[in-house]
Amino acid sequence: TLDSSTSLRIAVQKSGRLTDKTLNLLEGIGLKFDDYKRSLLVKCRNFDVELLLIRDDDIPEYVEDGVCDLGFVGANTVAEDEADVTILRGLDYGVCRLSIAAPKAGDIQSAADLNGKRIATSYPVLTRKFLESKGLSADIVTLSGSVEIAPRLEIADVITDLVSTGGTLKANGLQELETIFDSETQLVKTNKPLSEGKQALIEKFLQRIEGYQKAEK
Ligand code: PRP
Ligand code: ZN
Ligand code: MG
């Protein structure tokens, strides 16, 4: 059954590394919004579009379920969620990597040293897949945040976490051992059936995004 709501609903990270760049992109392709600082659901003034501002971790699920038709979210989050969504395209912002990091000067100097160790992470799925691909076995301790402090608290021996500038690792005496996943922002679309109107609007946006990206180069 085709959804009856008319507005194209787009999920955007509420506050974080992707927020400003995503809103800039949307404005750059001609969408105009009222003040989005105050509301979680923001109507577009010149298109039949609304933005839902939510935690990035929730975006794949909302798009999978068809609560949102589109979402701008990190490839890391989409992959970790194993979400059943269509990746329309990669966008060249929000670039970061999921890496293994260990205390500097510790006894773990490469991924091969991970057997039997404890790994703290907010990315248990991607971390497990990496371990399996290397034939390694380690315990995964799932934490929702502040993963970088886990080795000092002796909750874990090493971590896997997102690295962008490397500042967080450095500030916590950790060294990057290996990248396990390269990430950038992705535009994802629900696999739930969409009305022709929404599909046409999505096509139009994709063309504009392409133009915007070319102009930025
Ligand atoms: C990631 C990661 C580190 C930080 C690394 O968190 O968990 O805290 O970024 O970046 P750096 O290498 O530039 O220091 P993020 O900002 O994505 O927020 P979240 O973990 O709350 O989603
Ligand atoms: Zn997050
Ligand atoms: Mg963080």
Helix and strand totals (H; E) in the chain: 6, 9
Distance separating alpha carbons of residues 198 and 81, to the nearest angstrom: 25
Residue with tokens 């992705």: 186
Residue 53 alpha carbon to ligand 2 centre in Å: 13
- The phi and psi torsions of 32 (rounded to 5 degrees) equal -115, 135
Q: Which CATH number is 8-95+184-216's, of 3.40.190.10, 3.20.20.450, 3.50.50.60, 1.25.40.10? A: 3.40.190.10
Cα atoms in the Cβ-side hemisphere of radius 13 Å centred on 104: 7
- The structure tokens listed for 149 are 């402090």
Binding site membership of 28 for ligand 1 (Cβ less than 6 Å): no
Binding site membership of 16 for ligand 1 (Cβ less than 6 Å): yes
- The structure tokens listed for 134 are 């290397």
Whether 52 contacts 9, CB under 8 Å: yes
Residue 209 alpha carbon to ligand 3 centre in Å: 28
Whether 206 contacts 14, CB under 8 Å: no
Burial class (CB in 10 A: 0-12, 13-18, 19+), 124: middle
CATH topology for 96-182? D-Maltodextrin-Binding Protein; domain 2 (3.40.190)
For residue 75, give every residue at least 6 positions away whose Cβ sits within 8 Å of its Cβ, in sequence order, or none: 87, 90, 181, 182, 183, 184, 185, 186
pLDDT, tens digit, 9 for 90 and up, residues 154-210: 999 999 999 999 999 999 999 999 999 999 999 999 999 999 999 999 999 999 999
Whether 94 contacts 18, CB under 8 Å: yes
Residue 4 confidence (pLDDT) above 60:
no
pLDDT at position 41 is 93
Distance separating alpha carbons of residues 194 and 174, to the nearest angstrom: 46
pLDDT, tens digit, 9 for 90 and up, residues 20-65: 999 999 999 999 998 767 789 999 999 999 999 999 999 999 999 9
For residue 197, give every residue at least 6 positions away whose Cβ sits within 8 Å of its Cβ, in sequence order, or none: 6, 48
pLDDT at position 6 is 78
Residue 56 alpha carbon to ligand 2 centre in Å: 5
- The structure tokens listed for 171 are 């500030």
Distance separating alpha carbons of residues 200 and 184, to the nearest angstrom: 26
- 162 forms beta bridges with 98
Q: What is the pTM of this model?
A: 0.93
Looking at the chain, the domain(s) classified CATH 3.40.190.10 span: 8-95+184-216, 96-182
Binding site membership of 167 for ligand 1 (Cβ less than 6 Å): yes
3-state secondary structure of 214: helix
Binding site membership of 120 for ligand 1 (Cβ less than 6 Å): no
